[in-house]
Structure 1
């Protein structure tokens, strides 16, 4: 599967896509790109910070739990909501789902955090063998 290679900005729609290597160092780049673009679109700083956290968690999950080479991200602002999508190329051991870790576990709270701060979120298959799209919607 190839993540659409078209990287760009559509200012009228306030939509941007980008993709980065599926490496831990890319997580910071993804969250900073999201924050900066949303600020350029006039989104309030606190909402941009929430979106940055969502991008960070979803991107981290794709890096850690898939065998992707590249990970794509879509930011879309319309109708008083921000939709964030992270698309991987790989396969998860299972479909991404909420995990309720024990208090002594150090990991496993990413989607629980998304559940708490997003209005809604979900997972879609990109097609057989084509990875997943994990998305979240937040409202300013």
Structure 2
């Protein structure tokens, strides 16, 4: 089974006032991937200037999606994609499973030890769904989140490295003992 594709980041391709931002990362389909994905999403959204409440919701959604991909994906890797247009945050988690069943919202019994991931996803997102991956094998489960009231969503412009030429030795100031 081929691993999910890794598209290139689209940072900086802004066509309007709100910057369009995107990023992608892959994790192994092991239980420890859930914590890695949470950390990656938290750090990424902080760099984008996303408000704390929106970051917390995105981390919870990502955690549930990656947990489901680890438990039900039956593959070796998971790809996480995030993008924003400044108004909504779109999160995708792609696993390597193309099974006949898609994730379905259910009502877990209070004593059930699992089954709440999609309930949280439904409560925290403005929209969500699942589809087969466009490239390669697998399934993509996605969610869209709106920023919390009064919070920014990805408004910090992409970082551009500032490169300065190294000074020529003749341009440096003489040392005090010279």
Q: Same fold (TM over 0.5)?
A: yes
| Secondary structure, counterpart of 2:104 in structure 1 | coil
Is 1:16 the counterpart of 2:23 in the alignment?
yes
| Residue aligning to 1:39 | 46
Is 1:102 the counterpart of 2:109 in the alignment?
yes
Taking a change above 3 Å as real, the CA distance of residues 127 and 44 of structure 1, as seen in their structure-2 partners, is: closer
Moved more, 86-95 or 71-80: 86-95
Contact 1:67 1:91 in 2 (8 A): no
RMSD, matched Cα: 1.9
**1:26-58 Cα deviation digits (max 9, x unpaired):** 110101101111110110011111101111000
Is 1:121 the counterpart of 2:128 in the alignment?
yes
Partner Cα separation in structure 1 for residue 27 and residue 114 of structure 2: 23
**Greater RCO (Cα-Cα under 8 Å, separation 6 or more):** 2
| Secondary structure, counterpart of 2:56 in structure 1 | helix
Partner Cα separation in structure 2 for residue 39 and residue 79 of structure 1: 14
Deviation at 1:101, TM superposition (A): 1.1
Contact 2:6 2:24 in 1 (8 A): no
| Residue aligning to 1:56 | 63
Gaps of 5+ in 2: 13-19, 148-178
| Residue aligning to 1:84 | 91
Q: TM-score, normalised by structure 2?
A: 0.72
Q: Which has the higher strand share?
A: 1
Contact 2:5 2:136 in 1 (8 A): no
**1:87-126 Cα deviation digits (max 9, x unpaired):** 0012446211112111221110100110011000000112
Deviation at 1:2, TM superposition (A): 2.5
| Secondary structure, counterpart of 2:27 in structure 1 | strand
Contact 2:65 2:93 in 1 (8 A): yes
Taking a change above 3 Å as real, the CA distance of residues 129 and 19 of structure 1, as seen in their structure-2 partners, is: closer
Gaps of 5+ in 1: none
Q: Runs of 4 or more off by more than 6 Å in structure 1?
A: none
